[in-house]
Amino acid sequence: MRSGRQRFSRKRSRALHDVLMDKVLITGATGLLGTTLVPYLKKCENCVVTHARRAGADFLVDLDNRDRSFEFLTQVQPSVIVNLAGLTSVELCQEEPNSAYLANTRTVENLAEWLLQSGAACHLIQISTDQVYDGVGPHAEDQVTLTNYYAFSKYAGELAADRVPSTILRTNFIGRSKLSNRESLTDWVYASLTSRKSVQVLRDVLFSPLSMNTLGEMIQLVIAKRPTGVFNLGSQDGMSKADFDFAFAERLGLATSTMSRIDSGQATFLKAYRPKDMRMDCSKFENVLGVKLPLLSDELNRVAKEYHEFT
């Protein structure tokens, strides 16, 4: 029979563990990246609190509303905020620049203002985009070129985040979606080729993404080390989206006879301008965090494995 002292000791140990755990607030937790990141951070024994605008999270709040944001953050009292909330449709941002501002800039302004006014001991991790780059890459963090409203609104969000202790991560990600109504680039390629649908892929647009699983691991590292500043976070190298799509298909043994290469200027499905070269120099992240980022070919293998396991 356990003694009362043993029971008390275990209860005290659990309570101490809960106190020492980071309370990590994930905003936009029900989105494409959030649905992969949340379970991983929980597995890493963080105390994770989730936010969304609609169902599926612990808290449902419009973060572009200052008063509601302040009330919500005061209630949660996070030690880390990972901000995934935002409007990611490049086309919609171009058509509705005010919607882009509210989702991608004002939301961050409200988070930063609460941190400043409350004096909370909280670190903000702002997830930004590689679309703040254009021209010949790979790009260092100070080589910003803004060419559409999406990039502009995300960069303005970075400036808001920079007012407080924060890590700003410029990134792009690939991998299998866990949402029925949201697909990633690799989901689109997989669905198109398995259904024998004719698709056009861009040979003049270059990028250096990470898999969502690798990105989750890097975000956990940032939570642990909390560096401040702006960091590129992607694969060591890069390739064109067309080369990426063909390589992904090859790893899955999918026929590519229905896939053709075009320049972005020929793409009738693109209304807003897309940067041509978003490849990033990620050496700053590697040096500060003490990690070696993977090659894009390694990430292709990791993502292909996700689809093999799924099928």
Asked if the structure places residue 113 within a domain, the reply is yes
Between CA 103 and CA 22 the distance in angstroms is 26
The SS3 call for residue 2 is coil
- Residue given tokens 């401040």 in the structure block: 228
The SS3 call for residue 123 is strand
Residue range of the domain that includes 188 = 8-310
Decide: 208 and 138 in contact? Cβ < 8 Å. Answer: yes
CATH number of residue 32's parent domain: 3.40.50.720
Query: In 166-242, at which residue ranges do the beta strands (DSSP E only) sit?
Result: 166-171, 173-174, 199-202, 206-207, 210-211, 229-233, 239-240
Between CA 278 and CA 138 the distance in angstroms is 7
* pLDDT tens digits for range 116-167: 999 999 999 999 999 999 999 999 999 999 999 999 999 999 999 999 999 9
Beta bridge partners of 260: 200
Predicted local distance difference test score (pLDDT) of residue 310: 77
Between CA 187 and CA 27 the distance in angstroms is 24
Number of domains in the chain: 1
Taking 70 as the pLDDT cut, the residues of the chain under it are: 1-20, 311
Predicted local distance difference test score (pLDDT) of residue 309: 85
Asked if the structure places residue 1 within a domain, the reply is no
- pTM for this model (two decimals): 0.92
Asked if the structure places residue 130 within a domain, the reply is yes
Predicted local distance difference test score (pLDDT) of residue 181: 87
Predicted local distance difference test score (pLDDT) of residue 16: 41
Asked if the structure places residue 2 within a domain, the reply is no
Predicted local distance difference test score (pLDDT) of residue 54: 84
Q: For residue 39, count other CB atoms closer than 10 A to its CB.
A: 13
Predicted local distance difference test score (pLDDT) of residue 3: 45
* pLDDT tens digits for range 284-310: 999 999 999 999 999 999 999 999 887
Q: How far is CA 200 from CA 197, 232, 250, 261, 262, in A?
A: 10, 28, 16, 6, 6
Which amino acid is located at 65 in the chain? N
Asked if the structure places residue 50 within a domain, the reply is yes
